[in-house]
Amino acid sequence: MTPAARVQAAIEVLDAVIEAAKGEGAPADRIVAEYFRARRYAGSKDRRAVRELVYSVIRAIGPVPGNGRDAMLAFGRAEPANHHVLDLFDGSPHGPAPIEAGAIEAKPGLAPDWLVAALARSGVRGEAAQALMGRAPLDVRVNSLKADRGAIDLPEPGEHLAAPQGLRFSPGTRVEEWDAYREGLVEVQDHGSQLACLAAGVRPGETVIDLCAGAGGKSLALAAAMENSGRLIACDTDKRRLGNLAPRAGRAGAGLIEPLLLDPGREIEALADVAGKADLVLVDAPCSGTGTWRRKPEAKWRLTPRALEKYAALQDRLLDVAAQLVRPGGRIVFVTCSLLDEEGSKRIDGFLARHEGFEPRAVNLPLGTPRAEGTRLDPFHHGTDGFFVANCGSAC
């Protein structure tokens, strides 16, 4: 592909990403993969160049653009380092048509204006806000059921992180091709996610409920911390995502994990045998994902004020469910990968107001910044994805 053809390909991918963002369609990485699956003539260098250009444009544009061409034009004019892109609108074969006078362009920026304002109200502004559009490293957790960070032999040396089994590698490291990955010695997991699991403070022999387990990344970390002793119920309402947990648990040797598919609104019914008996309920609640923009920058285009309200209402409901599951003296650890107070401190304030039998407890982590009754992790200050973590204890 010529440089101009690469720009045109990126515009076409951006068109698909924009439409998907408006209609809750496929994520950008899947759209890129499907685009090139239908164009097998494109070489690996072309695919990599187009992908990098697509993500660079997404990171540079604030509000949802009208189309990919407008977004590319705005990207080209935003910074001197990008001006060369404009020269490729030359009308050459497979390239973008020449720029016309009065062309409508997208607006550069961090995110839609309402979302930038919401982040600022939550104390995320300036360099801390811009860091959300950086590029994430690749972090792994050494599985302590099978190995130890101090003794494991890996193809590349990783940077030791604050989490006791955490290692960091450069983006693009092909961890999935390592024998250690195939044998369950390591799991890909962001450092912030590892620290959130550390905040749970689980011990062998406890009864633990991971109420929103998804594909089970945090369940696997909890199982390792529990040393495969006790009971760990990994719940979710998404059958497809939860179905990924069993093979991962088998590879990791996490034999105590019990996957449980839940029916929304009937969680207590499904968990009746452990209601009021859990030592810990981890509520890793569905959220806007503002803390994961380094990995999914198009998520900023998917979020609306109404969607944020729905996430907050769901988080409140899940916390109320957790309150019925935890035993006297037990604890609820609330986690969201969001930096918005609407999905963090405000949810905990509301929970504590509704449930007088609970009180905030310290979140003991080697990294983090206090935020109301919890702790915040973010890319700028801590080099992690963005997380809010809170610990609420039940009175004995």
**Cβ pair 256, 224 in contact under 8 A:** no
Question: Which residues of the chain, if any, have pLDDT below 70?
Answer: 103, 396
DSSP letter string, 93-152: TTSPPPPPTT-----BSSS-HHHHHHHHHTT--THHHHGGGS---EEEEE-TTT--TTT-
Instruction: Compute the residue count for the chain.
Output: 396
Helix (H, G, I), strand (E, B) or coil at 50: helix
Q: How does strand 231-236 pair with strand 166-169? A: unpaired
What's residue 316's pLDDT? Answer: 98
Name the burial class of residue 266, with classes exposed (0-12), middle (13-18) and buried (19+) by CB atoms within 10 angstroms of its CB: exposed
What pLDDT was estimated at residue 37? 87
From the list 197, 212, 287, 337, the catalytic residue is 337
Active-site residue, 337 included: yes
State both tokens at 229: 């002793």
What are the structural domain ranges in the chain? 3-109, 138-188, 200-394
> Hey, what amino acid is at 340?
L
CATH number of 138-188: 3.30.70
For position 42, what pLDDT does the model report?
82
pLDDT value for 39: 86
pLDDT for res 198: 96
pLDDT at 280: 98
Q: Which CATH class is domain 200-394?
A: alpha beta
Q: Is 15 annotated as a binding residue?
A: no
Quote the pLDDT of residue 172: 86
**Nearest-10 Cα torsion for 67, 70, 72, 77:** -160
What gap in Å lies between CA 272 and CA 280, rounded to an integer?
Answer: 15
Known binder of ligand: residue 153? no
Looking at residue 101, what is its pLDDT? 80
- Residue 24: predicted pLDDT: 82
pTM over 0.85: yes
Output the CA–CA distances (angstroms, integers) from residue 87 to 57, 79, 92, 95, in the order listed. Answer: 16, 14, 11, 11
Asked if residue 236 belongs to a known ligand binding site, the reply is yes
Q: In terms of DSSP H, where are the helices of 208-274?
A: 217-225, 239-242, 245-252, 267-270
User: Which residue in 99, 48, 53, 91 sits closest to 73, CA to CA?
Assistant: 99
